[in-house]
Amino acid sequence: MRIDVVTIFPDMFREVFDFGIVRRAREAGVVEVHVHDLRSWARDRHRTTDDAPYGGGPGMVMKVEPLVMACEAIAEMSDGSPRLVLLSPRGAPLNQAKVRELSEEDHLVLVAGRYEGVDERFVEISGAEEISIGDYVLSGGEIPAMVVIDAVVRLLPGAISDPQSADEDSFSHGVLDYPHYTRPADFRGSRVPEVLLSGDHAAVREWRRSRALEDTRSRRPELLRERP
């Protein structure tokens, strides 16, 4: 998979791709990530990428021209038309089903917004799909873009040494994960549930299944109601 990011803060991305699964996936040739400075497509002397909103109001709006130019240039870097995503608080909330869908693409272009928002004509002209990572206010789309990359890359074939762990996760089955324990069996009198020490694999499986359901019911009941 190829992933391109368009941002006015390319430096925010440098480090995050150098650790963990994303790094391993890059080294294995499973994914190629390119980060672009939107300012390279700003044509005026000050390389302006934002301007005041028509109709008034607070803050600034990202200009349509550099965004469209950037996406057109990036589309030409690969054959076919990439899947274009704008990270936006107005977007559809990200979930694991969407992550899985994105992970099946050959080429993703992620556009990180800043300021109050992006000129709506960019969305119309480019056909970008708007995605939010949740109902809280961040200062831009860069961290959401990193979230999408992290979630997508770990699903790519070859990114994780044990592919079972990718699909046994929370949300893949619509319930939370079961709780985990490791040594010591007794820490300050707090003991690991006896069944996990028993060696009875069927009993362990049943305990995990029931704790996962129980915890989902008490913490995230809406996951059970939304189950497909």
Supply the residues annotated as catalytic: 89, 116, 154, 169
Q: Cβ of residue 176: shortest distance to ligand 9D3, in angstroms? A: 22
List the one residue from 48, 98, 100, 117 that touches ligand 9D3 (CB under 6 A).
117
Distance CA 181, CA 196 (A): 9
> Which is nearer to ligand 9D3, 51 or 167 (by Cβ)?
51
- Residue 116 is a binding residue for ligand 9D3 (CB under 6 A): yes
Instruction: Provide the mask over 82-111, with x wherever binding to ligand 9D3 is found by CB under 6 A and - wherever it is not.
Output: -----xxx----------------------
> Which is nearer to ligand 9D3, 28 or 138 (by Cβ)?
138
- Residue 132 is a binding residue for ligand 9D3 (CB under 6 A): yes
Stretch that binds ligand 9D3, among 31-39, 64-72, 126-134, 191-199 (CB under 6 A): 126-134
Distance CA 4, CA 6 (A): 7
DSSP 43: -
Residues in 176-215 at the binding interface with ligand 9D3, rule: CB under 6 A: none
Long-range CB contacts for residues 97-104, cutoff 8 Å, separation at least 24: 98/131, 99/148, 99/151, 99/152, 99/155, 100/155, 102/148, 102/152, 103/1, 103/152, 103/153, 103/155, 103/156
Distance CA 22, CA 24 (A): 5
Task: Give alpha helix (H) positions in 78-117.
Answer: 96-103
Distance CA 197, CA 216 (A): 24
- Residue 144 is a binding residue for ligand 9D3 (CB under 6 A): yes
Residues engaged in binding ligand 9D3 (CB under 6 A): 87-89, 113, 116-117, 132-134, 136-141, 144
